[in-house]
Amino acid sequence: MKLPAELETLKPRPLLLLKREEISRQSTSPIEEISKAMKNAESENREYNDYITLNSHALEDASRVEAELRAGIGGALSGIPISVKDIFLTKGMRTTMGSRLFEHYIPDRDARVVSSLREAGAVVIGKTNLHEFASGVTNLSSLVGPARNPHDKSRITGGSSGGSAASVALGSALASLGTDTSGSVRIPAALCGIVGYKPTYDMVSREGVFPLAWSLDHVGVLARTVSDAAYVTNVLEGSSGSIDLPSIISGKDPARISLAYLEEDLEFYNKSLDSLRSEGIDLAPVKLDLEGWGSLQRVIRLAEAASVHREYLETSSHLYSPDVAELLKQGSRIEAVDYIDSLRKRREITDQYLRALRDRDGLLTPTVPTTAPKIDEVRDRELQFRSVATKYVSFVNYLGAPAITLPSGEVQGLPVGLQLVGRPWQDSQLLTLARTLEALLR
């Protein structure tokens, strides 16, 4: 894919895209880049615990990619170091789901999106730390212990894709694959100060990804910039991809953007809204029943997770973290009529959401209403913190709509995020808006 000439002048700098151009010009090589990434990953993992398993064959993979480049058959991500949440199957590489149940599991195949990365020339440098079975928002309950926030090691990364967010923020990976069922890409991205993008439901394959809740799970991308996240998503979609990267990179005239927003009493959030208004963006308040919609999402999430884990829980309940086991037990008590009602109301709620947007381009909300708390503050309080962290994000999984979190400043030295939600299957439009907001907010 030919990239726009203005790539070098973009703010913030699209590190992945620029590195791709350097490799294409032979200013650097896959072996050099992957060697550097692995050294960084080993070093940061000792302090931040962001990986569960590092790829012992990464340099061999880089050598193969370099040979392909010399033969003129390089891919869209040749030589780019990418981390993968340890819930995606990786052939020959341990895949634990962050759980003692799968501590020694080595798959014999790749998840489809991992295959897409490899075919594009990316090198998977490691499997990132996560909340056990992606069933949590703190990343504390993990086979290897908590991942630590890049801005303060005493604080959480958020979850469940906490290790993915940390690996990108710390720099060993130029992008990472995560999963998002109730906000698990967007929450850690916001708390670690990076971009976290959840595409429309089913836009990116979930084949070979251990499920949490089938009808809510999304594969997402974490990166430093919107352009980088969009580029990786384009690769994951394949030849039928709907991402219009040149338009996304160019952005949109702020004076032609109109957005709905939730009215919330959060200083950092309102400061961001004021900043966007000052740049000419038209903002209008809207009221949405997030609490009610979140309750419907929660019923589905708990019931489907209980179904996934039914046999494991019956035979190996002692291997589960207490908070994860408690949620599975809650799910097993949900009645079929309540689950079916929650599924049936989806179309009605989606129509309500689309009517609320009317002629607006998208919806703005906070991502998480707080900065990352200290690990000791949420230890044994995972379920209480969950309701805080998912307040603005879980309803989007219920709708299946695309959403992205953007860094929007800091509060007392810790990052906060602004969420932009779009319409289902209008991901390119959402990313174009996000690219514009990203430049204004930075």
Catalytic site positions: 85, 160, 184
In the numeric block, the tokens 């289902």 are attached to 424
Q: Characterize the bridge pairing of strands 175-180 and 81-85.
A: parallel
Spatial contact of 135 and 185, defined as CB atoms under 8 Å apart: no
Query: Which tokens in the block code for residue 242?
Result: 């709907």
Q: Which residues contact 97 (CB under 8 A, 6 or more apart)?
A: 86, 87, 130, 132, 133, 134, 210
∠ CA 419-422-423 to the nearest 5 degrees? Answer: 155
Among the listed residues 188, 159, 165, 175, the one whose alpha carbon sits nearest the alpha carbon of residue 227: 175
Which amino acid is located at 100 in the chain?
R
Please check whether residue 221 is in contact with residue 176, taking contact to mean a CB–CB distance below 8 angstroms: yes
Q: Which residue's structure tokens are 């005239």?
A: 253
What is the pairing mode between strands 195-198 and 218-223? antiparallel
Q: Which residue has the tokens 């805080």?
A: 388
First vs last C-alpha separation in the chain: 27
Distance from C-alpha of 54 to C-alpha of 128, rounded to nearest angstrom: 8
Q: Can you say how many angstroms the Cα of residue 86 is from the centroid of all Cα atoms in its chain? A: 13
Task: Give the whole-angstrom CA distance, residue 12 versus residue 285.
Answer: 28
- Tokens of residue 115, six digits: 């295959």
- Residues 114/138, Cβ–Cβ less than 8 Å: no
Neighbours of 104 (CB within 10 A): 8
Share of the chain residues as helix, strand and coil, in percent rounded to the nearest 5: 45, 15, 35
Structure tokens at 168: 């990108």
Cα gap 276→272, rounded to integer Å: 6
Compute the distance between CA of residue 32 and CA of residue 19 in angstroms, rounded to an integer: 12
Distance CA 290, CA 293 (A): 5
